[in-house]
Amino acid sequence: MAVFLSTLLGLWGAMHAYVFWRLSTIPWVSAHISTTALALVAAGLWVSYVVARSLDAVGWQKWSWPLEYLAANWIGVLFLLFWCLLLADVVTLGGWLLPRYAPSIRGGAVVTAGVLCLVAWAQALRPPALSEYEVRLPGLPAAHDGKVLVAVSDLHLGNLLGRRWLHGLVLRLQRLKPDLLVIVGDLVDGNVGRVEPLRDALKQMQAPLGVWAVTGNHEYYAGVDRSIRLFEESGFRVLRDRSAQVAPGLVLAGVDDLTARAQAGQRDHATELALANRPPGGTILLSHSPWEAEQAAAGGAGLMLSGHTHNGQLWPFNYFVGLRYPLVSGRYEQNGMPVIVCRGTGTWGPRMRLWRRSEILRIRLRSAEFASSAKPSRSGL
């Protein structure tokens, strides 16, 4: 974990250095802001998110919330500035080509990044889209044909997404009338103490066959034992490397987050363990990180649901996410087993999304007798 954080901060620092170096070459910026001032602003913004989270951890919420709001959104702003300025440098070969116009082109890149930021903010403020799927689940009894499963992931409740946002989400989930509701990790963002006062709202998440959950990597960052206790006190049934019969012939299995395990150096067989010795019937695996789909299919799962990737959240980050998580967003097939990766119901870090909105999954389960080849449809219920 220490190596991961050090690498992340190093890359984050390098992005700041590049962006502010290029900003200093834009005539308007160099004419009005000194190099020293730019360096100080860059350094302050570089540490702002870490400082905000540190203040929140020690209970200084009065100061941490406004700083975190600024710092979290700065993550998105810097990311878009970086790629727009880099593109300008590629076009001008770092200023060697079109030297007279290169500074103005960089200025245009900054304006473009600003416009993209506004679009991303507006996109994130829209309610999650509804993505609908129909899945044939091997082993599902005909009596359960047509059952509706609703899945959410990556709510990241805490400082930036709180009671008001959660209340709106709960109302939407109630209108969907799910038979079964699952939470595929990262309900908590970084401070579980910020989410515990929302128990009363979380308890309004209900379904006839129950509300089931698995941990994500952020439950580990926030404190996995305390996070699980919050889940259970909210009425959720937590699947930790195990399976459970939801109804006769319908089985859920779930694993503790695989990314958090990898960061901690754990090399075990969580997916195989969760699927071993399960009750008979159609089986759905919940795994926050979309890894080990091949093991899930080999272990007999008929459907795998994941999240974690956010589909990159800010284009073009989705291409880099795909290097580590090849199953990025949407529906895939792994040895005949469908895998559906939710692009997140909330947002992490910046309240920004480019280009695709957050989403809620609504999956109609079909038994073998009612197989359907219908393609998924999407709406904005």
Q: Rounded to an integer, what distance in angstroms lies between the CA atom of residue 82 and that of residue 73?
A: 14
- The answer to whether the CB of 367 falls within 8 A of the CB of 136 is yes
On whether the pTM is more than 0.85, the answer is: yes
Q: Rounded to an integer, what distance in angstroms lies between the CA atom of residue 124 and that of residue 289?
A: 22
- The answer to whether the CB of 130 falls within 8 A of the CB of 379 is yes
312 Cβ contact partners less than 8 Å away, ≥ 6 residues apart = 318, 319, 320, 321, 322, 328
For 161, list phi and psi in degrees, rounded to 5. Answer: -120, 115
- The answer to whether the CB of 365 falls within 8 A of the CB of 137 is yes
Q: Rounded to an integer, what distance in angstroms lies between the CA atom of residue 221 and that of residue 199?
A: 20
pLDDT at 226: 97
Side chain identity, residue 31:
A
Q: Identify whether 338 is preceded by a cis peptide bond (ω within 30 of 0).
A: no
pLDDT at 1: 59
Local mean pLDDT, 10-residue blocks, the chain (381 residues):
74 95 93 93 94 84 86 96 97 92 95 97 96 97 96 94 96 97 96 94 97 97 96 98 97 97 87 95 98 96 98 94 96 97 96 96 89 46 44
pLDDT at 58: 80
- The answer to whether the CB of 258 falls within 8 A of the CB of 288 is yes
Q: Rounded to an integer, what distance in angstroms lies between the CA atom of residue 368 and that of residue 66?
A: 53
Handedness of CA 63, 69, 73, 75 (dihedral sign): positive
